Amino acid sequence: MPKMLSVTLIFAVLAITGTGCTKRHSGASSLVTLSTDTITVEDAAGAWLRLDQGERDAYLAGDDPAGSFVTALARKVLVEEALESLGYLSDPAMVALERAWARRGAVIRTQEIVTSTVEPLVTEEDIAFFAENFDRVVWYTVDPGGPGESVPAPCYLSEMDPAVGGLLASIEPGGVAEGPEGLVVRLDSLYNPHPGGLAEFLDDSVEIREYARRRLTLVRTFESLDRMTDSISAAHPPSIDTAAVRKLEELQNAHPGALSPETLLVSDIGSLTLVDMYMEIELMGVAMQTLVDPASFIGDAVDRAWQGMAMTDWLALTDPAVGDENARWARGRMLSAAADRLFEDVMAGCADPTDAMVRETYDSMSAPVVIPEARIFETALLPADMFEDYRTALTAGNAGALASGAEPLPGLAPEGSTGSLTRPLTKEEVPLDAGEELFSIDPSDTTSWTPPYAVPGTDFFAAFRLVGIIPSHEAAFEEIEEDVRRSVRMRLVEERTLAWLDSLAAEYGMVVDDELLRSMPCDPSDWL
C-alpha cells in the first residue's frame, strides 16, 4: 500500500470554482459549516498563517489558492471529527503519544529559551580559553585531602566552568591550585592530543571563534537544563515504581495495547504510565535500543520522560503562551499519526488491481512509454595514492592492469550481485556527475578505461569501462508492468479516499459558502 499517500490524500484538495477579488469581510463570517462545527474567515486566516512559507507557496501556485486551501482545511476538520467519533483520539496509545510529543516539544522549546539567554554570556575570554585548550581531557580532585574531597568524572578542559578550568590550566599534573572562596583543586592527569588547540583544525580566526561560541553555548545550555531538572526534581520529587520499570523492560517490544495502565512514575506535577513510557521509547527510536543493555536504555528513557515533564511544567509557569503553542504542536503530531492509522483502516479493504486492469491501463495509454538508453559499466574504486600511477597507466594504454580486479564502486551492481559490473544505468543515474562523459563514449569502445573521477569525502577515485548498451526503445508491457500496477493501485486508493471524504462531508452536512469565497482575496493572508 502506498504509505506516502496517507496524510496527503486524507487532506486531499478539490479546487472550489471561484476567481476572487479584493473585498474584505468580517472575521466572524462563516466560510464552512458542519453539523458539529463552523469554520469562520478568522479561523481560516489563522490556519493559513500557521502554515510554513513552503506550504503557502504550494497553494498560491495553483489556479484557485483560496478555494484549495479552504477545501483542505474543511477536510482536515472532517477527518478530526471522524477520528473523535470513531474513538481514535481516546485510544490510550494516541493519548500517550500526544503526551510524549508535548514532553519532547517542551524540552526543545525550553532549550531554545535557555540558549537565547546563555549565548550572549559567552565572552571573548571564554572563546580564547576554549580554542587554546581544545580537546584536552583532565582528571582532577576537588579539595584533595580535605573533608570534601571528591573526584569528578574526566572532562574536557575547554568546556569546564571557567572558575575551575582556569585553575587547572594554570598547573601541571600533580600540582595544586587554590581559587576564590576556598576552592582547591589538584590536577591528577592531563591528556593533550593537540597542543596547538583548535588552530590545528581551523585556520580562519572567524571560524575558530564561531565554532567555540556554538560549542560553549550548547554545553552551557545543557548544563542549565540539567540544573533546572535537578531543581524541579528537588521541589517535586518523582517516585518510581521499580517493579513497573522491570515490567517495561520485559515488554518494551510489545504492542501498547498489551500494556497495563499502571503508573511507573508519579510526582505532584504529573505521572507516567507504562503506555506513556512505551510511546516515549517509540519517539526515541528503535535503533537507540541496540546501543546499550535494556535496563540502561529504559533508565535513560525514564530520565528523558521526567525531564520532559519538568520542562512542560516549567513552561506552563514561566511562559504560558509558549506552553500553549507547544500543546497545539503536540496535538498536531498526534492527529497526524492517528490520521495515518485511520487511513490504513479505511484502505484495508482496498483491493489490489487485477491483471486485467493493469493490462487495460497499459493498452489505453495515449502514447507509448519510451525507455531511455541505458549503459552497463565495469567500475573500479582505487586509493588516492594510486592516482598518478593510474594516470600514467592510462596514457600508456594499460590502465586495465590496475583497474581490473579492484573493488567496485558500491551501490551500482544488480540486486543480489557484488561484482564490478553495474546494473543498466541511465545517464542521470551515473554517479560523480560523470553521466554526460560516460554516455559520450563510442559504443564500440568497450576496452578503454576512463580518466579518474574523485569520490568526494573519501580518499579514493573511481574509473569506468563501457561494457554494453541497451538502446532507447518503446517499453514492452512486461518492462513496465509493475510501474503500471503501482499507478493503478494509487488511483484506486485515491478514488476510495475521495469517496470516503465525500461520505464524511455528507454525514457532517458540510457546506462551503462559495459566494463568500468567490468574493474573498485570492491570498488568504489578506482576509483580515
pLDDT given at position 58: 92
- Judged on CB neighbours under 10 Å (0-12, 13-18, 19+), 66 is buried
pLDDT given at position 291: 47
The answer to whether 283 touches 108, Cβ cutoff 8 Å, is no
- Residues for the chain: how many in total? 528
- Helices 274-284 and 294-318 cross at an angle (nearest 10°) of 100
User: Is the four-CA dihedral 148, 149, 150, 156 of positive or negative sign?
Assistant: positive
> Any residues with CB less than 8 A from the CB of 370 and at least 6 apart, and which?
472, 473, 474, 475
For residues 83 and 100, what is the distance between their CA atoms, to the nearest angstrom? 19
**The three cell numbers locating residue 197:** 588547540
Residue recorded with cell 590496475: 402
What's the order of all strands across the beta sheet hosting 239-240?
239-240, 263-267, 270-273
N- to C-terminal Cα separation, the chain: 42
Residue 150: phi, psi to the nearest 5?
Answer: -150, 155
Residue recorded with cell 485570492: 522
> Any residues with CB less than 8 A from the CB of 453 and at least 6 apart, and which?
432, 434, 461, 462, 463, 464
Longest Cα–Cα distance of the chain, Å, equals 90
- pTM, to two decimals: 0.71
**Inter-CA distances, 4 with 83, 88, 91, 505, Å:** 20, 21, 24, 24
What residues of the chain score a pLDDT lower than 70? 1-27, 251-259, 285-295
pLDDT given at position 21: 34
User: Which residue pairs from 509-512 have beta carbons closer than 8 angstroms and sit at least 24 positions apart in sequence?
Assistant: 509/33, 509/34, 509/35, 510/32, 510/33, 510/34, 510/74, 510/78, 511/32, 511/33, 511/34, 512/16, 512/31, 512/32, 512/70, 512/71, 512/74
Q: Pairing mode, if any, of strands 374-383 and 370-371?
A: unpaired
**The three cell numbers locating residue 415:** 540486486
